[in-house]
Amino acid sequence: MWRLIACIFLPFAAGYYLAYLFRTINTLIAGPLGSDLGLGAADIGLLTSIYFLVVMAGQIPIGMLLDRYGPRRVQSLLLAVAAAGAALFGLSTGFVALLIARAMIGLGSAAALMSGLKMIVLWFPRERLALINGFMIMLGSLGAVTATAPAEVLLDWISWRGLFAVVAAASALAAILIYLVAPERVDSPSGSTKPATLKTIYSDQRFWRIAPLSATYIGSAWALQSLWAAPWLCDIERLNRTSLVSELFVMATVLSLGALVLGVLATWVRSRGRNMEVLFAAVAALLIGAEIVLILHPPWPSLLPWCVVSVAGSATAVTYAIIGDYFPPQLVARANGGLNVLQFGWAFIVQYGTGLILERWPVEAGHHPLIAYQAAFGLNVLLQLAALAWFAVPRFQSRKAKGRTPAILQPACGWSSAHAPILASEAAILEADEHLEW
């Protein structure tokens, strides 16, 4: 087990750590970057969100490459691309060059989580997937912690350009480490005769029940925590730089711990024979509540709801375990990729769209007004509520159906009690079909 942790878990966790650092670092450098290069809110939103757009576009082809060539070769190659993108970002002097560099970083980070999850599925027991996924996401999300107070120290010392040079070198070292120490393993064919195609994933009803909620919920949490939390705290709470970095540090720490807690909870729920979908819906409802609090903006500090937003981004520990139950191992990477397409795509929409909405209102004394954030966050909450209803309605229908016996199975006049076992068997079959369809 220790060899698996040293050669598989930790190297891929390091790759995900760097991807999370890349994802969230613009929250810290948005101010210096904007002032150095004269970028507005929409420019910063596009520059940051292009990461999510490129990651989204790469999910399905990268998932297929992972299934075909294995995580070791794919992840090491892509991390080298991320290293090149980070180096270019640190050297760029114009918006277009920054955009290209950020896109390269997104491409290089696109397989970071999927490759780790694929290795976990291949090498670790299935009943431990949620817990190990939680550990993976917890260690990876330490990149978000690094992108706050620790990165602020480097930012003051070597500027954002030097910071990206350091991260580029770390990415290159991680690529070499994964290539040298990670083992290869080919998927063994499962007993299922179902072909391993994308059609298998996208024709699965269970996938399309969880996908809209997962996209609008996790994608929104990523978009808000990785960029718009800092401007909101500056514009609405009027925090100074020191207080801002401190609150971002707390949020990132909560994000990291939340991944572990959700992984443990998911394992406990599974061990008690309960559905992890219920846990996922509950956390989604908490996120919606936190966003509503931010929209209403009561007269007390907003750190708590922002911490809830951060924790929501770590719920991938639950969703990926759910997906792991839906599909056989040889399809897991592509199934996770299919889900990631929607999550990262929604993160791009929210991150860039929020910047566009904010610019509809004039800046007042260097700050965007509260009404602009309320409009952007409110639209997001409405779409999340619709996705939550879509996810929950089939469960209510299933429970209602279980509370009654279908009319066709009701005993007719003149039928003897000898038919009862047959009717009971048919009812059980229908109930099982209902559960599988859900």
**229 Cβ neighbours under 8 A, 6+ residues apart:** 27, 248, 251, 306, 309
- CA-CA distances (angstroms) from residue 386 to 210, 342, 365? 12, 16, 36
Q: Are 223 and 126 in contact (CB under 8 A)?
A: no
Asked if pLDDT for residue 420 goes beyond 70, the answer is no
pLDDT at 186: 53
Q: Is the dihedral of CA 200, 201, 202, 208 positive or negative?
A: positive
Q: Is the dihedral of CA 165, 97, 174, 307 positive or negative?
A: positive
Asked if pLDDT for residue 30 goes beyond 70, the answer is yes
Asked if pLDDT for residue 83 goes beyond 90, the answer is yes
pLDDT, mean of residues 115-127: 79
pLDDT, mean of residues 208-230: 91
Name the nearest CA neighbour of 320 among 342, 335, 341. 335
Longest dimension (CA), the chain: 90
Q: Where are the domains of the chain?
A: 8-181+203-399
| Helix residue ranges per DSSP H, 236-275 | 241-271
pLDDT digits (tens, 9 = 90+) for 230-275: 899 999 999 998 999 999 999 999 988 888 888 788 878 877 877 7
> 303-312 and 276-296 are packed helices; what angle lies between their axes, rounded to 10 degrees?
150
Asked if pLDDT for residue 159 goes beyond 70, the answer is yes
Tokens of 275: 């559905």
Asked if pLDDT for residue 356 goes beyond 60, the answer is yes
Q: How far apart are CA 196 and CA 221, in angstroms?
A: 31
pLDDT band at 413 (very low <50, low <70, confident <90, very high): very low
Assigned CATH class of 8-181+203-399 = mainly alpha
Name the nearest CA neighbour of 73 among 42, 103, 114, 115. 115
Q: How far apart are CA 132 and CA 119, in angstroms?
A: 11
pLDDT at 164: 96
- Percentage of the chain modeled with pLDDT above 90: 43
Choose from 61-65, 91-95, 254-258 the range with maximum mean pLDDT: 91-95
- CA-CA distances (angstroms) from residue 337 to 38, 41, 134, 183? 36, 30, 18, 22
Q: How far apart are CA 233 and CA 207, in angstroms?
A: 36
Tell which wins on pLDDT, 37 or 6: 37
Q: How far apart are CA 407 and CA 410, in angstroms?
A: 5
The SS3 assignment for 235 reads: helix
DSSP assignments along 297-319, one per residue: --SS--HHHHHHHHHHTTTHHHH
Q: Is the dihedral of CA 78, 49, 255, 159 positive or negative?
A: positive
Q: Are 136 and 12 in contact (CB under 8 A)?
A: yes
Q: How far apart are CA 103 and CA 97, in angstroms?
A: 10
- CA-CA distances (angstroms) from residue 323 to 135, 216, 415? 17, 17, 45
